[in-house]
Amino acid sequence: MPRVRGLKNPERKQNMSKLVIVESPAKAKNIKGYLGRGYDVIASMGHVRDLPAARLSVDIANDFEPKYAVIKGKENFVKDLKKKADNADYVYLATDPDREGEAISWHLATLLGLDLKDKNRVTFNEITKNGVKNGMDAPRQIDIDLVDAQQARRILDRLIGYKLSPFISQKIRRGLSAGRVQSVALRLIVDRENEIRAFKAEEYWSIDAKFTNPPERKVFSASLSTKNGEKIKIENKEQSDSVLSDLDGESYVVKGVKKGSRKKNPTPPFITSTLQQEASRRLSFQARRTMKAAQELYEGVEAGELGTVGLITYMRTDSLRISEEARAAGNEFITETYGEKYLPKKPRYFKSKSNIQDGHEAIRPSMPKVTPEQVKPYLTSDQYKIYKLVWERFIASLMESCMQETMKIEIEAGEYIFTATGYTVKFDGFTKLYEEKVDDEKNDSASPLPALKEGDELKLKSILGNQHFTQPPARYTEASLTKALEENGVGRPSTYVTITSTILNREYVKREGKQFVPTELGEAVTNLLKDKMPNIVNVKYTSKMEADLDKIDSGEKNYKDMIRLYYDDFEKPLEKAKEEMQGVKIKLKEEETDEICEKCGRNMVVKVGRFGKFLACPGYPECKNTKPLIFRTKAKCPECGGDVIEKKTKRGSSFYGCSNYPKCNFMTWDAPSDEVCPRCGKSLFKRKGNVLYCPDTEGCGFTKPAPRKKKTEE
C-alpha cells in the first residue's frame, strides 16, 4: 500500500489527504480535475535529481557508483515537496509510464524517504477519467529493473561523454562532444555522403510508347521490356535510335493479357518513430514540433463539452499493442460510419518487435469516437494535424484491406515486347480514410487499362527514346534517419529528438531543405572516431549494446555488470588513442570571409573560441587582429539607415539590431527581409503569421503576406 500515517480505521481512507506527483503542470491540472477533493496534485517538472554536470559524478573505483544530487535551482521545490509529503497520508508517484518516468519516481521516493516496497507507483496510459481511475486503482511497487535500465544508460552516456568529448575537443576543436548514440547517427550521415560522392551516374534509355485500341479513343502507355525473350538494356542514344529504327513500320498486337488481384493491408497504429516519420513526410514537421503537439494532446486540452481531456495515449512508445476496449470502440465507430463491410471478419493484430517495452500501448486516440473535426475548434493548428494523423492511422488499422484488380498487357512488335500494367480498386477498404505516405513514392497509376484481348491490333500514337541516369542514394532527412536508427536498433523513442538536435547544434551537420549534410567538422569527428574508437561509431556494436541494456528491463542482466563490460571495451582503446596522438592536432579548413583585415589586408577567417565564433586574421602570429563575427543582412535600420545585423542571445536565439549601436538602439526579434516598402522605401520585416510589415507604423503601416517557401522534396 502507499505510505499511510496513523491509519486506524480503513473507512477513513476517503477523508485522508493524498499527494500525487506527476511530471508536468498541464498534466497535474487535468489529473486534479478528475481526482477532485482530497487530492493535491503537483508537478516535478521532470527530473529532480541527476548526475551533476560539473564533474564526472560516477565513482569508477567504487563499482561505478553514481553520485546523484538535487538539480540546481530545484532545492526549494524539493524542500516544499518534502513538507507536503510529510503532511500527506498517501503519496502516489505518477510520473510518465516509461523507463525515464520510473527513474524519476525512484529519485522522488529516495528524496522523500518513501519505502520502495510500498505500492505507491501509478501510471496513466491516457489522461481521461477512466484512464486516471484505472491507474489510481492499480498502484504497484517501483520497478527497480526499469530504474536500473535507465541508470545503466545514464551512467554509460556520462562516462562516454565525459571521457571522449575532451579527447576530440583537444584533437580537433574546443567545445566538441561525442556520445553513445549521436556518434552513430553522425556516422550514418557521413557514410551516406561518402556514398554520394563515390557514386558514378550511369546513362540508360527507355523506349516509351502510347497506344489506342480502335475504335476506342482512350490512350494508354507501355514501355519496351524484352527483345527475343531477354530483358533489353539500352545504354546510349545510338542504341535507342537503332531500336526505334527496328520498330519503324512494325505492327503492334496484344500478345497476352494477365489479370490478377492483390490485397493491400493497412499499416499499424503509430509508435514514436513512425509518428515522427509520417509527420515529417506529410506535414513537414520536425520531430521536436511533432512531439510537442503530441505531448499536449496526451496531457490534456480543453475540448468543449468533453471538458479537459487527454486526446491520445502516451506518445513515447515502441509497442504496437492496443487494448481490447479501444479496439471495440474503434470497431463500433467503423461499423456505424462506414458499414460492416469495412470491418474485417477476423480482428487484425500487429506484432511488436521482440526488444520493446510493452508496458503501454501504441499511440492511439484515447476516445476513438471523438473525430478530429469534433475537436478542431478547440485545438491549435499543430495539435489538430497531429490528432488527425493519430486518429486516422488508428481507425484505418482496424479496417478491412483494400482489394485491387491488376492487369498486365504484353504487346508484340516483331522481336520486341512492350508491357503495360495498371490496376483498379475493387474495394477501397481502409484507403477510404488513410494511406501511409512513403519516402520514394512511385507513379503507380490507378487508371484502368482498356478492355483488351489477345490478338487485338493497337494503333501507335507516339514512341520516344527517353534518356535517364541512375541516381545516387538520397541524403538522410530527419524522418529517414529516425527510420534507419530504429531499424538498426540504435536509440529509443525518447532519444530520437535529442539525437538530431545535438548533431545540428554542434554543427556536425547542417540542413539543406529537409536533408542532413555533414560539415567538415562532422566528417573530421567521424573519421577520428572510426580510426581510433571504432566501436563507438559501429552500428552493430551499438545495437548489441542497446539490446543488452534492454535485458536489464526484464531482470535478465545486472546493470553494474553491463556498465563494467562496456566501459572496459571503451576505456582501453581511448587510452591507446591518447598515447598515439600525443601532440597531434587535426587542422580544419578555415572559413574565409569577405571581411578585410585593416591591419594587413588579408581576408579574415572564422575561428571558434571559448565564447563562440569570431573573426581572426589568418596571418597569426605576425598579425593578431581579431574582431566580433557580425552577420550583416540586406536590410537597413528604419531609424538611422545603418546596416541591420543579426545577433545571438546567450541561448543561441537570433535577434536583430542596428550596426551603429550604441548610438542607435533599434532592436527587433522579427527577421528582416530582402524587400523594401513600396510606399516609403524602408526595409520590410517578417512577423508571426507570415506577414511582411513596414516598421514605420506611424507614417506608413504597410503590410502584405510573405511569399511562402516552396516545399523541398525529401
Question: Lowest mean pLDDT: which of 252-266, 417-431, 531-545, 607-621?
Answer: 607-621
What's the confidence (pLDDT) of residue 646?
86
What's the confidence (pLDDT) of residue 644?
93
Close Cβ partners of 276 (under 8 Å, ≥ 6 residues apart): 287, 290, 291, 478, 479, 482, 496, 497
- The strand pair at 703-705 and 612-616 is best described as unpaired
How many CB atoms sit inside 10 A of residue 356's CB?
A: 17
**For the segment 475-512, what is each residue's pLDDT rounded down to a tens digit?**
999 999 999 999 998 988 778 888 998 999 888 999 98
Cα 134 from chain centroid? 31
> Which amino acid appears at position 663 of this protein?
K
Residues paired with residue 606 on neighbouring β-strands, in sequence order? 591, 615
Q: Is residue 39 scored above 80 in pLDDT?
A: yes
The CA dihedral of 488, 493, 494, 499, to the nearest 10 degrees, is 40
Beta strand extents in 128-233 (DSSP E only) = 203-212, 219-227, 230-231
The residue among 238, 241, 311 whose CA lies nearest residue 26 is 311
DSSP state letters, 466-504: EEEE--PPPPPBHHHHHHHHHHTT-S-TTTHHHHHHHHH
**For the segment 417-426, what is each residue's pLDDT rounded down to a tens digit?**
999 999 999 9
Residues paired with residue 462 on neighbouring β-strands, in sequence order? 210
pLDDT band at 15 (very low <50, low <70, confident <90, very high): low
What's the confidence (pLDDT) of residue 6?
34
> Which amino acid appears at position 4 of this protein?
V
Task: Please count the CA atoms within 13 angstroms of the CA of 307 that sit on its side-chain side.
Answer: 9
> Which amino acid appears at position 307 of this protein?
G
How many CB atoms sit inside 10 A of residue 248's CB?
A: 8
Task: Please count the CA atoms within 13 angstroms of the CA of 29 that sit on its side-chain side.
Answer: 12
What's the confidence (pLDDT) of residue 687?
85
What's the confidence (pLDDT) of residue 355?
53
Q: Is residue 57 scored above 80 in pLDDT?
A: yes
More confident position, 6 or 593: 593
In the block, which residue shows the cell 580537433? 172
Q: Is residue 1 scored above 60 in pLDDT?
A: no
Q: Is residue 184 scored above 50 in pLDDT?
A: yes
CA 671, 676, 680, 686 dihedral sign is: negative
- The strand pair at 230-231 and 691-693 is best described as unpaired
Question: Lowest mean pLDDT: which of 149-153, 229-233, 313-317, 602-606?
Answer: 602-606
The residue among 106, 203, 182 whose CA lies nearest residue 147 is 106
Q: Distance (Å, rounded) from C-alpha 96 to C-alpha 291?
A: 15
Q: Is residue 152 scored above 70 in pLDDT?
A: yes
In the block, which residue shows the cell 546493470? 559
User: From the DSSP assignment, how many helices (H) and strands (E) are in the chain?
Assistant: 17, 30
pLDDT band at 256 (very low <50, low <70, confident <90, very high): very high
CB 643 within 8 A of CB 628: no
Mean pLDDT of the 307-321 span: 92
How many CB atoms sit inside 10 A of residue 249's CB?
A: 8
What's the confidence (pLDDT) of residue 610?
61
Q: Output Rg (C-alpha) for the chain, integer angstroms.
A: 31
How many CB atoms sit inside 10 A of residue 625's CB?
A: 15
Q: Distance (Å, rounded) from C-alpha 360 to C-alpha 298?
A: 13
To the query of whether residue 34 is one of the catalytic residues in this protein, the response is no
Q: Distance (Å, rounded) from C-alpha 454 to C-alpha 69?
A: 81
> Which amino acid appears at position 37 of this protein?
R
- The strand pair at 402-413 and 252-264 is best described as antiparallel
Cα 388 from chain centroid? 18
What's the confidence (pLDDT) of residue 173?
85
More confident position, 74 or 441: 74
> What cell does 399 get?
479496417
pLDDT band at 443 (very low <50, low <70, confident <90, very high): very low
Query: What are the strands of the beta sheet with 591-596, ordered from one edge?
Result: 591-596, 603-609, 612-616, 626-628
What's the confidence (pLDDT) of residue 713?
33
pLDDT band at 710 (very low <50, low <70, confident <90, very high): very low
Q: Is residue 697 scored above 70 in pLDDT?
A: no
Q: Is residue 12 scored above 50 in pLDDT?
A: no
Q: Is residue 9 scored above 60 in pLDDT?
A: no
- Average predicted confidence (pLDDT) for the chain: 89
What's the confidence (pLDDT) of residue 709?
55
Residue 353 has what DSSP assignment? P
3-state helix vs strand vs coil in the chain, percent to 5: 35, 25, 40
Share of the chain above pLDDT 90, in %: 69
> What cell does 221 get?
502507355
What's the confidence (pLDDT) of residue 267?
95
Q: Distance (Å, rounded) from C-alpha 363 to C-alpha 271?
A: 6
> What cell does 376 get?
478542431
- Which residue is catalytic, options 314, 387, 434, 508? 314
Q: Is residue 8 scored above 60 in pLDDT?
A: no
Angstrom CA distances, 632 to 606, 607, 629, 672, 681, stand at: 15, 18, 10, 11, 19
Close Cβ partners of 221 (under 8 Å, ≥ 6 residues apart): 208, 209, 210, 211, 420
- The strand pair at 626-628 and 631-636 is best described as unpaired
Q: Distance (Å, rounded) from C-alpha 133 to C-alpha 685?
A: 51
**For the segment 621-672, what is each residue's pLDDT rounded down to a tens digit?**
888 888 877 788 889 998 888 999 988 765 556 789 998 888 998 999 998 9
Angle at 369 between CA 368 and CA 371, to 5 degrees: 90
Q: Distance (Å, rounded) from C-alpha 393 to C-alpha 366?
A: 13
How many CB atoms sit inside 10 A of residue 650's CB?
A: 7
**For the segment 266-278, what is each residue's pLDDT rounded down to a tens digit?**
999 999 999 999 9
CB 64 within 8 A of CB 564: yes
pLDDT band at 711 (very low <50, low <70, confident <90, very high): very low
Helices 324-338 and 381-397 sit at what angle, rounded to 10 degrees?
90
Beta strand extents in 428-574 (DSSP E only) = 457-469, 509-512, 515-518
> What cell does 415 get?
522481336
More confident position, 688 or 441: 688
End-to-end, the C-alpha distance of the chain in Å comes to: 53
How many CB atoms sit inside 10 A of residue 188's CB?
A: 21
Q: Is residue 234 scored above 50 in pLDDT?
A: yes
Model pTM? 0.80
**For the segment 87-124, what is each residue's pLDDT rounded down to a tens digit?**
999 999 999 998 999 999 999 999 999 999 999 999 99
Query: What are the strands of the beta sheet with 654-658, ordered from one edge?
Result: 631-636, 643-648, 654-658, 667-668
What's the confidence (pLDDT) of residue 612?
64
pLDDT band at 10 (very low <50, low <70, confident <90, very high): very low
Q: Distance (Å, rounded) from C-alpha 582 to C-alpha 480?
A: 39
Q: Distance (Å, rounded) from C-alpha 569 to C-alpha 564?
A: 9
pLDDT band at 695 (very low <50, low <70, confident <90, very high): confident
What's the confidence (pLDDT) of residue 439?
59
State which of 356-370, 488-502, 698-712 shows the largest mean pLDDT.
Answer: 488-502
Residues paired with residue 542 on neighbouring β-strands, in sequence order? none
**For the segment 153-177, what is each residue's pLDDT rounded down to a tens digit?**
999 999 999 999 999 999 998 889 9
What's the confidence (pLDDT) of residue 11?
44
Helices 559-580 and 144-171 sit at what angle, rounded to 10 degrees?
0
